[in-house]
């Protein structure tokens, strides 16, 4: 223990409130945050180059959190003081665990969101490439889980990609909000030390600072919003997982061998277990979001230790989504559409429209065709392929229309890639400034 000078390390307050387990996820981000703080003290001429260099070296040597500490911040500071000596205690000036943990959480979330945005793009590319190969692969479309009208598998895949595009934009907007720096805001009202918060933000690759020090040190709303983005993405993936369970059971598709398991008793079974687990994980993600909301909603403004209990749910959410994206990408790379006989009644709408376009009000034509379907005397005048080719609506499965829609979607992906790469490059260029100062401070040590 460093801060608490009464009692013992065996007190309940130590074991019950320690965040060491979840802090393991942010060790590197905590170290990077501390480096920015030390460099700021040096640039402000508060500490010498030699002291700054020694502290930076100690930060680099810190690898794990020993037991007996409240959190990673206390463990790191104690390590620095033991390694550097009393001069290591300068790091406490103008700094609080409140603004440092808020910064580290945002740095970690930023990396996770960048990775997830990359993975969404990869899945979208797989879907569109498969859609191009499936422009003429006839496939049933359903409403109320009843056969509705004929479409193509390429049209179905294009639908999934567009849903994921919406999720990508939501998560990218979350990323922009997360990429703002709380560092330098102290415990709640800043400090008498003239900390240049904009310079600290620049060194850590942030786009801006969170201006108000109360918000900077104690808000978690941007992180909660990021988890809401994960929930939205998981809702999309869960619906598709449900489709795969149903479609494979209907023998419309064959799921890849690496996605199915079998029964301990029934040797013929190909159970869609990855999709079942994906549905379950979407439910868990909703639970994580509910936990975050339930903890956060009743907290008074300013930092409260309840917030540390929220941290694990951020990492669980990001991990669940990354795993689900990887599984879904693998599935669609290797899925097979099986030959299937569609019910001719799925052409009833085309027949009614054809009659109506000859001058008969649609409702009259509708009831005429409906009567034949109910009596079992309906015989369509066109086949499934003709039905699809006759579609004139933008966004429909007509192969010529769908080709153009896929091209637009691919252009959209390229634009998303460009924005993401520009974002990454900006971060990298800014952090390189910190690295250059760090290297200079360590020369000759």
Model confidence pLDDT, tens digit, residues 140-166: 999 999 999 999 999 999 999 999 999
pLDDT score recorded for residue 187: 96
- Identify the architecture of domain 98-342+404-429 in CATH: Up-down Bundle (1.20)
Domain 12-93 has CATH 1.10.287.610: no
Beta strands at 208-209 and 253-254: parallel, antiparallel or unpaired: unpaired
Q: Is the pLDDT of residue 266 over 80?
A: yes
Can you give the pTM of this predicted structure?
0.95
Distance CA(289)–CA(234), nearest Å, equals 12
The average confidence (pLDDT) of the chain is: 95
pLDDT score recorded for residue 15: 77
Distance CA(166)–CA(85), nearest Å, equals 53
Distance CA(172)–CA(121), nearest Å, equals 12
Instruction: Parse the chain into domains and list their residue ranges.
Output: 12-93, 98-342+404-429, 344-390
Tell me what the mean pLDDT of segment 291-309 comes to: 97
Tell me what the mean pLDDT of segment 113-119 comes to: 98
Tell me what the mean pLDDT of segment 196-219 comes to: 98
pLDDT score recorded for residue 376: 96
- Give the closest residue to 167 by CA, choosing from 328, 277, 312: 328
Q: Is the pLDDT of residue 1 over 60?
A: no
Tell me what the mean pLDDT of segment 279-300 comes to: 98
Model confidence pLDDT, tens digit, residues 382-412: 999 999 999 999 999 999 999 999 999 999 9
Task: Specify the higher pLDDT residue, 69 or 250.
Answer: 250
Tell me what the mean pLDDT of segment 426-435 comes to: 97
CB pairs under 8 A, 24+ apart, for 298-301? Answer: 301/214, 301/218
Distance CA(112)–CA(121), nearest Å, equals 14
Model confidence pLDDT, tens digit, residues 338-389: 998 899 999 999 999 999 999 999 999 999 999 999 999 999 999 999 999 9
Cα radius of gyration (the chain): 29
Task: Specify the higher pLDDT residue, 314 or 444.
Answer: 314
pLDDT score recorded for residue 263: 86
pLDDT score recorded for residue 16: 83
- Among all residues, which ones are annotated catalytic? 144, 263
**Confidence bin at 206 (pLDDT 50/70/90):** very high
Q: What angle do CA 58, 63, 65 make, to 5 degrees?
A: 105
Q: What is the DSSP letter of 148?
A: E
Q: Is the pLDDT of residue 48 over 80?
A: yes
Structure tokens at 31: 């170290």
Whether 107 contacts 204, CB under 8 Å: yes
Q: Give every CB contact of residue 270 below 8 A, 6+ residues apart in sequence.
A: 248, 255, 260, 262
């Amino acid at each position: 223990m460093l801060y608490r000078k009464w009692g013992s390390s065996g007190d309940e307050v130590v074991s019950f409130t320690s965040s060491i387990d979840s802090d393991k996820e942010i060790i590197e981000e905590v170290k990077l945050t501390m480096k920015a703080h030390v460099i700021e003290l040096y640039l402000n001429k508060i500490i010498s180059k030699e002291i700054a260099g020694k502290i930076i070296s100690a930060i680099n040597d810190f690898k794990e959190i020993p037991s007996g500490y409240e959190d990673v911040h206390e463990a790191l500071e104690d390590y620095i003081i033991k390694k550097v000596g009393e001069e290591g205690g300068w790091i406490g000036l103008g700094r609080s665990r409140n603004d440092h943990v808020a910064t580290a959480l945002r740095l970690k979330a930023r990396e996770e969101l960048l990775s997830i945005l990359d993975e969404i793009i990869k899945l979208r590319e797989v879907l569109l490439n498969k859609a191009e190969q499936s422009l003429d692969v006839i496939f049933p479309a359903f409403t109320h889980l009843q056969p509705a009208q004929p479409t193509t598998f390429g049209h179905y895949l294009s639908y999934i990609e567009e849903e994921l595009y919406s999720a990508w934009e939501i998560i990218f907007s979350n990323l922009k909000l997360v990429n703002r720096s709380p560092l330098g805001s102290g415990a709640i009202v800043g400090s008498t030390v003239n900390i240049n918060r904009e310079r600290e933000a620049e060194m850590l690759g942030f786009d801006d600072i969170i201006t108000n020090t109360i918000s900077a040190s104690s808000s978690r709303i941007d992180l909660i919003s990021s988890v809401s983005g994960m929930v939205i993405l998981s809702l999309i993936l869960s619906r598709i997982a449900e489709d795969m369970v149903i479609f494979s059971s209907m023998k419309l598709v064959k799921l890849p061998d690496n996605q199915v398991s079998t029964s301990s008793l029934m040797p013929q079974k190909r159970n869609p277990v990855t999709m079942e687990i994906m549905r379950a994980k979407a439910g868990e993600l909703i639970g994580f979001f509910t936990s975050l909301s339930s903890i956060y909603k009743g907290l008074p403004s300013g930092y409260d230790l309840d917030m540390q209990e929220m941290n694990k749910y951020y990492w669980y959410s990001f991990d669940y989504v990354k795993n689900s994206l990887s599984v879904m990408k693998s599935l669609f790379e290797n899925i097979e559409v099986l030959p299937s006989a569609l019910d001719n009644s799925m052409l009833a709408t085309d027949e009614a429209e054809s009659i109506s376009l000859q001058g008969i009000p649609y409702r009259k034509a509708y009831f005429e065709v409906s009567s034949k379907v109910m009596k079992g005397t309906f015989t369509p005048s066109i086949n499934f392929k003709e039905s699809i080719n006759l579609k004139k609506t933008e966004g429909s499965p007509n192969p010529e229309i769908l080709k153009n829609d896929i091209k637009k979607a691919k252009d959209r992906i390229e634009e998303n890639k460009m924005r993401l790469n520009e974002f990454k490059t900006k971060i990298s260029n800014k952090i390189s400034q910190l690295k250059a100062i760090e290297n200079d401070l360590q020369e000759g040590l």
